[in-house]
Structure 1
Amino acid sequence: MTTVNDDKLFRKVMLRVLPLAMLGFFLSYLDRVNIGYAQATMSADLGFSNVVYGLGAGLFFIGYFIFEIPSNLILAKVGARKWIARIMITWGLISGLMFIVDSEWMFYLLRFLLGVAEAGFIPGILFYMAHWFPASRRGRAWGIFYIALASSGLIGGPVSGFILSGMDGVWGHTGWQWLFVIEAIPTVLLGIVILFCLQEDYRKVTWLTEPERDRLGSLLAAERVDEAETPLRKVFTSKLIWLLTAVYFSYNFALYGISFWLPTLIGDLGITDTVQIGFLSALPSLAAIISMVTFGYLSDRAGERRKFIAAAFLLSATGFAICIIAGTDPVWGIIGLCLANAGALSIPAIFWSFQTSMLAGTALAGGIALINSTGNLAGFAAPYLIGFVKDTTGVATVALYITGGIMIVGAILTMTVRQHRAVATAKDLPSELVSK
């Protein structure tokens, strides 16, 4: 019998599975938040207030919330390849249509439709990857996968800055109009590539040997709990699921507060050149890449999720505190934003490893979708709050206090999961929500 080296096996899986998934994630996040780079010039051209911008940025998540669970359940029926390709092509086309925005209501409509189009992508990818990596390997795999999220700021910031500056006035159109068109094209093209190239079933790939396929199957099966179908309503009534959703909401509040307002927050430090803002916007993303890989590796090595998630929350809260203390000091302001972003972006890879180790079967698909869609409503709340505060007070300090406080709440909620889970297991969870 051939002995399979697990490290070699999962290096091979990562090299084959992660690149397309990461590129899709990179483009999805860039198309989701590039409005943050366009905000200053777009708002000035169209007469949008900070509240209008914050509301439009957040409406994405209302469409996302409404269609997230149906989208993920359809993915489970038709397969990841076809459905993820459909998601990418439609959201790319709608993102490009932001080129024609000329009023508040058109802005609101297209942001809502973009959320509808993108609904299901992230939980779909996570569901897909859970069929390639056992829980013991997911922290590292998803730590690498989530580099794509940070890279969208690392690469997207400077690129967006150059487009805004270099394309302004070309063929009679503004830089922000070109920004949406140029950054939408790769998304549509990648959707077509995924339709033909995404590999869904490890049992059918030729790049794994038969012993490797058997070993991968045994590792996945060894941790799998009861796969019997469970009514979706039981996922909705699980106290554990709602607690995890609250943790995820806390993380997303910081993530989208930073993402949609980062260029503006940097501008508040006295920096006005769009190219400089683009490059400085990359620094928090660079800090996040280092942090998220480190947290993922250490979490896997220690076999511990809760404490590392809580530590990441507290690191982010520390960053927000520094931002508040720094005031308009650009050096300390950037340091604070780096720490806030590094802590926030270190959370999701460990969180999904933590969460998917407790779920299986229908609960895995439904649970991921429910947690992701409801937690992402923070993406509506955070941009709108910051816009409202800035219009009301002229500064974002109050919003930074609130966001930092929510990160502390997230740390506390994370540390209650184990105790709450024991109660839920005994009383109200369906069998496949309970890990053995």
Structure 2
Amino acid sequence: MSTTQTPGAAVSDALHGPALKSAISKATRHLMPMLIILYFVAFLDRTNVGFAQEALKIDRGISDGAFALGAGIFFIGYAIFEIPSNLLLKRFGARFWLARIAITWGIVAAAFAFTTNDTMFIILRFLLGITEAGLFPGVIMFLAEWFPNKVRVQMFALFYLAQPFSQMLGAPLSGGLISIGDTVTPWHGWQVMFFAEGMLAVVAGIAAFFFLTDSPQKAKWLNKTEKAALIDVMVQEDKVRESDGPSGVWRAMASWKVWYFTVIYFCLQIAVYGTTFYLPQQVAGLLGKDVGWEVGLVAAIPWLVGLFVCFFVGKYATMILRRRNWGTLFFFGTGVFILGSGWAGAISQPILGILFITLAVSCFLSVGPITWSYPTAFLTGTAAAAGIGLINSFGNLGGFVAPIMRNSVNETVVTDSGVWGVVSLGLFAFVAAAMIYCTKFFKAKADVLLETPVN
């Protein structure tokens, strides 16, 4: 009887070894806190503009149309430079490149304090997208090189926790900085918010250069046994991915699977940013309050709940059936609850509105890590750099489409509540739910890596 194992079986057996488990535990402790901090600040700097919308209109005359264009044009610059940034990360290493990204975007984010008109606002949003390009897909690719497939959704979920943390803590932080700035500084409150939160990114970038490690081979904090176990299992997984996915930049960009998950991610981002950009204003409308400390605290509630749901889903999504079923369920829930939040606003039910927003945020946060588990299971090397960059860059165009679409629908179908603009966002989540469900018809060699749960 032959005792030869397939790469998938070897990976499955190795994953239960104490040396590998110790290596994964150490990698989690050494890498994840810094990555979470980077994304925390990035998400804060790309979405804090929602807290300044009314103030920018009053103090600088920024129109609603310019705000919608500026909110979305971030993703155009982001999309253009995403794939080149990922390829440069492969060349220079994650430690240097992620630090560079954070420092440069922090400088641009701080410059929003000096916005004077529509044109400057739109240009700065475009530059913010250029300078931040590559952070998210770079981290996704980085984690795929560090963590085996069985635990990867859990790592993605931990990384995604930066989103609820940034909004849970960032909402009252942004609202508080606006309130403090207006009362104790010679600047406008929104200027204090932009400058202080931009400088946070610069500090985080400097710290990342010292705290991150490019690869398991360079990890001085792993002993020889741990390092060998982790390197071995990642090499075995690479063999599976190389046999199952495209090789090279151009084949990755032409892969139908890559484009399939690009569409799914596009639908997800429409839901995420169509909700996130307008969340402070939506909460303020539900409460009948101006944006400030109180609205910031209430706007933090959806992210607090979403934090726990995302962590739970990431911890237990260790098998392909769970990932597909939960992905379908949470995408469907995203659509239902976004529609519900618009309906609650239309009938002036603030408590119901906050409840639906909370459930929508919990759903789209939880489904993000599951979505990324699919392409990272069949992409490796330069194909991963190009494919993951393509999915994120074109998918993130949903962030460009969402605010413009929401604003256009509201102008076309005029209502006091703007309910139809919200409805337009939720419909895309149903498309993503159907597409995730249809992955049951895919035949992927990487699925063997998920046949048994992690002990």
2:288 matches 1:271: yes
SS of equivalent to 1:268: helix
User: Which SS does the other structure have where 2:221 is aligned?
Assistant: coil
Choose which of 219, 222, 229 in structure 2 pairs with 1:215.
229
Which of 34, 47, 51 is the equivalent residue of 1:33? 47
Looking at structure 1, the residues matched to 218 and 19 of structure 2 have their Cα atoms a distance apart, in angstroms, of 20
Give the alignment partner of residue 414 of structure 1, picking from 423, 428, 436: 436
2-structure distance, mates of 1:342, 1:197: 30
Contact 2:22–2:226 (CA<8 Å) still a contact in 1?
no
State the AA in 2 paired with 1:145: F
The alignment's TM-score, normalised by the length of structure 2, stands at: 0.89
- 1:376 aligned to which of 396, 411, 418: 396
Task: Find the aligned partners of 1:370 and 1:172 in 2 and give their Cα distance.
Answer: 44
Deviation at 1:48, TM superposition (A): 2.6
- CA distance, structure 1, for counterparts of residue 283 and residue 309 of structure 2: 21
Separation of aligned partners in 2, 1:418 and 1:146: 25
**1:343 equivalent in alignment to 2:363:** yes
> Residue 230 of structure 1 aligns to a residue in which SS?
coil
Structure 1 range deviating more: 306-315 or 320-329: 320-329
Change (3 A) 1:153 1:353: same
SS at match of 1:206: coil
Equivalent pairs, count: 425
Whole-angstrom CA distance in 1 between matches of 2:253 and 2:212: 31
Identify the residue that residue 343 of structure 2 maps to in structure 1. Answer: 325
Q: Which amino acid aligns with 1:113?
A: L
Q: Could you tell me which residue of structure 1 aligns to residue 149 of structure 2?
A: 135
2:417 to 371, 379, 395: 395
Deviation readout 1:147-188 (Å, 9 max, x if unpaired): 111110000001111111111154432111111001111110
Of 243-252 and 299-308, more deviation after overlay is shown by: 299-308
Distance in 1, Cα, partners of 2:432 & 2:425: 10
Alignment partner, residue 256 of structure 1: 273
Residues 204-241 of structure 1, C-alpha deviations (whole Å, 9 max, x = no match): 22221111111111221222236599342212221111
Residue 139 of structure 2 is aligned to residue 125 of structure 1? yes
The Cα of 1:303 is off from its aligned counterpart by 5.8
Check conservation: 2:252, 2:384, Cα contact below 8 A.
no
Residue deviations 1:231-288, cap 9 Å, x none?
4221222111111000001111111011110001112213314111100110110121
Is 1:89 paired with 2:107?
A: no
Which residue identity does 2:294 align to in structure 1? Q
- Is 1:247 aligned to 2:267, yes or no? no
**1:287 lines up with 2:301 in the alignment:** no
CA distance in 1 between counterparts of 2:421 and 2:343 reads 14
* Residue of structure 1 in register with 2:426 after alignment: 404
**Which residue does the alignment assign to 2:254?**
237
Write the letter of the residue equivalent to 2:90. Answer: A
What is the alpha-carbon distance in structure 2 between the residues aligned to residue 235 and residue 409 of structure 1?
A: 24
Check conservation: 1:318, 1:339, Cα contact below 8 A: no
Q: How many Å separate the matches in 2 of 1:57 and 1:342?
A: 23
Whole-Å separation in 1 of the counterparts to 2:277 and 2:218: 41
Q: Residue 238 of structure 1 aligns to which amino acid in structure 2?
A: S
1:119-145 per-residue CA deviation (whole Å, 9 max, x = no partner) reads 001111111111110111111111111
TM-score, normalised relative to structure 1: 0.93
What does 1:103-118 correspond to in 2, within 5 Å? 103-118=117-132
CA shift, 1:324, in A, is: 2.9
Take 1:435 and 1:7, find their aligned partners in 2: how far apart are those partners? 19
**Superposition map of 1:153-232 within 5 A:** 153-168=167-182, 170-225=184-239, 227=242, 230-232=247-249
**Which structure 1 segments of 5+ residues have no match?**
426-431
The whole-number CA distance in structure 1 between the counterparts of 2:148 and 2:107 is: 35
Deviations, residues 294-317 of structure 1 (Å, cap 9, x unaligned): 211221267632221111111212
AA aligned to 1:197 is F
Q: Does structure 1 residue 24 correspond to structure 2 residue 46?
A: no
2:63–2:118 contact (8 Å) kept in structure 1: no
| Contact 1:358-1:433 within 8 A present in 2 as well | yes
Superposed CA RMSD: 2.1
Closer/same/farther in 2, CA of residues 298 and 227 from structure 1, 3 Å limit: closer
Structure 1 segments (4+ residues) deviating >4 Å: 226-229, 432-436
CA contact (8 A) 2:242 2:379 kept: no
Check 1:230–1:357 CA distance in 2 against 1; reply closer, same or farther (3 A cut): closer
The answer on 1:356 being equivalent to 2:353 is no
State the shift of 1:194 in Å. 1.6
Residue 310 of structure 1 corresponds to which residue in structure 2?
328
**Identical aligned residues as a percent:** 34
**Equivalent in 145, 148, 167 of residue 159 of structure 2:** 145
Question: Structure 2: where are the runs of 5+ without partners?
Answer: 1-16, 450-455
Aligned residue type for 2:322? E
